[in-house]
Every structure is written in C-alpha cells, then in structure tokens.
Amino acid sequence: MKQYNMSVEKPADANVIIGQSHFIKTVEDLYEAMVNSVPQVKFGLAFCEASGDRLVRVEGNDAELMDCAQRNALKVGAGHTFFIVMREAFPVNVLGRIKQVPEVCSIFCATANEVELVVAESALGRGIIGVIDGQMPVGVEGDEDVQKRRGFLRKIGYKL
C-alpha cells in the first residue's frame, strides 16, 4: 500500500469541508443543504463516485469554487469523498445541515487553514486516512488570550 500527503487547494479567503458519503444523489442533497443553511453562500462541491461510471460529480453556484472543488476531487481521487469550497459563510453555519444529509458518513475536516490529506492507495483505489489541519500549537492561552478570543466571538456575532 502506498501513502501520500496531498495538499488541498483553496482560495485564501475560502473555507473547505471534506467528507465521505455513499450515493450519487449526495451532490444534489449537499447543494440543497448549503443553500438552505445560508442562502447567500457561494460554493462549489465535488463528489467522487466509487463505482459505476466513477465520475466526479460537480455542483455549486460559483464557477471558481466549483472548479477548485473539482480539481481537489480529481487530485485526491478517493472514492465516495466530497469537497466543498465555500465563501460568504463559515462551516459552522452549514455543518449541521450537512451532517443531516442521509448519505453523509463522516466529515474529515471543516477549516479555513491550510490542509493536507493523508491518502492511502491500494489495488482497489484510494481513501483518506487522516487530515493535517493547520499548524501545531505553540503554547496554552493565558488570561489576555482568553479575553481576546471571547471579544472576537462577540465582535463577529457568535456570542452575546
């Protein structure tokens, strides 16, 4: 078995959600989950079929983000995985709905950070076996850091 670390491409101002699902209708159901969660969200999504035609299925409402999701899906090539690249919303705004899509098995990550996927390849195909999301911690927050975090969350409207 071979193992690869593959970087995920995304625009600097975008977030990415990567997960695993199991059925061709995933693409349409994820589209509906996105627009029903945040109507103004801009996104592209791609889903890798694992049997049958084995195509990358692509949907979305932003051509640049659709193209980015498609490139990631083709590069990684892991069956039944999906890639959502999004702007004008945060993953926290859509993850609940995405997790409720019946075909979704798991979410590997949801982030604005640089991401690497640990991908295994066997004679059968490829699968994501891990995620490297961002960089290692450099310490533990102190009182000033706590106040800064709490202030930031209130500034962006996530806490009262």
Pairing label, strands 56-60, 115-121? unpaired
Q: For 65-89, how does the pLDDT look when each residue is reduced to its tens digit (9 = 90+)?
A: 999 999 999 999 999 999 999 999 9
Cα dist from 107 to 16, 84, 112, 131, whole Å:
11, 11, 15, 11
The pLDDT of 33-56, averaged and rounded, is 96
Domain hosting 49: range is 2-155
Our measurement of the distance from residue 130's CA atom to the centroid of its chain's CA atoms, rounded to an integer in Å, reads 13
Tokens of 86: 């999004």
Residue 160 lies in a domain: no
Tokens of 135: 């960089």
Domain count, the chain: 1
Pairing label, strands 42-48, 81-87? antiparallel
pLDDT score recorded for residue 150: 94
